Structure 1
Amino acid sequence: MTVVGFLSVAPVQQGSMAEEVANAVAALDDFDVVYETTPMGTTIEAADAATLFDAARAAHEAVDGDRVSTFLKVDDKRTREVSASEKVAAVERELGHPATSEREG
């Protein structure tokens, strides 16, 4: 089984959050997960939901601050294994091109 999650962890603070977000992402390295960080959050793949939740909890706890905001969305498809890259590939097949555009400016 593959469980895919989208995780966003950030301190509620003014200024750059990059250092604390990096701490959250680094915490994922202690778990048997595959991840990819984007500007808005991190996609995580794990073999089971427990591993995904443990990794997300560690990422949340790795952020220092008086207030930490965490968002976790989980896709636990139980009938067959589908990786995050396979989900993107399916959308790209329907589009007929990569699911990205050229960046302007």
Structure 2
Amino acid sequence: MTTVAFLSVAPVIEESMASEVAKAVKALDEFDVAYETTPMGTIIEADDATEIFAAANAAHDAVDGDRVSTFLKIDDKRTSDQSAAGKVRSVEDELGREAKRDRE
């Protein structure tokens, strides 16, 4: 089974969040998860939801601030081992092209 999640952890601050977001991403290295950081959040993959919850909690705790906003969305399809990349490939197969477009 593969569990895929979208995680966004951010301090509520006026200036750049990059250094705090980097702390959250670095915290994921302590867990048995694969991840890819995007401009809006981080995609995480693990064998089960328990590992996702633990990694997300560590990422949340790693961020400093009086107020931290965390969003976690989990896709725990228990009858399939399809990876996040496999999910994207399925959409691309339906599109007949890469699921990406750059602005001109």
**TM range, smaller chain:** over 0.9
Q: Which runs of 5+ in 1 are unaligned?
A: none
In 2: Cα distance, 1:19 partner to 1:47 partner: 29
Specify the alignment match of 2:2 in structure 1. 2
In 1: Cα distance, 2:73 partner to 2:88 partner: 16
Q: How large is the RMSD of aligned CA atoms in angstroms? A: 0.6
**How far 1:80 sits from its partner (Å)?**
1.5
Specify the alignment match of 1:47 in structure 2. 47
Specify the alignment match of 1:13 in structure 2. 13
Amino acid at match of 1:40: M
Q: Which runs of 4+ in 1 moved over 4 A?
A: none
Amino acid at match of 2:94: E
Q: Per the alignment, in what secondary structure is the counterpart of residue 35 of structure 1?
A: strand
Deviation string 1:19-75 (CA, Å, 9 cap, x unpaired) is: 000000000000000000000000000011100000000000000000000000000
Q: Per the alignment, in what secondary structure is the counterpart of residue 70 of structure 1?
A: strand
Specify the alignment match of 2:57 in structure 1. 57
Specify the alignment match of 1:30 in structure 2. 30
How high is the TM-score relative to the length of structure 2?
A: 0.98
Specify the alignment match of 1:69 in structure 2. 69
Query: How many residues of Structure 1 are paired with residues of Structure 2 in the alignment?
Result: 104
Q: Per the alignment, in what secondary structure is the counterpart of residue 60 of structure 1?
A: helix
Seq. identity, %? 69
Specify the alignment match of 1:101 in structure 2. 101
Q: Which runs of 5+ in 2 are unaligned?
A: none
Specify the alignment match of 2:79 in structure 1. 79
Q: Per the alignment, in what secondary structure is the counterpart of residue 53 of structure 2?
A: helix
How high is the TM-score relative to the length of structure 1?
A: 0.97
Amino acid at match of 2:88: V
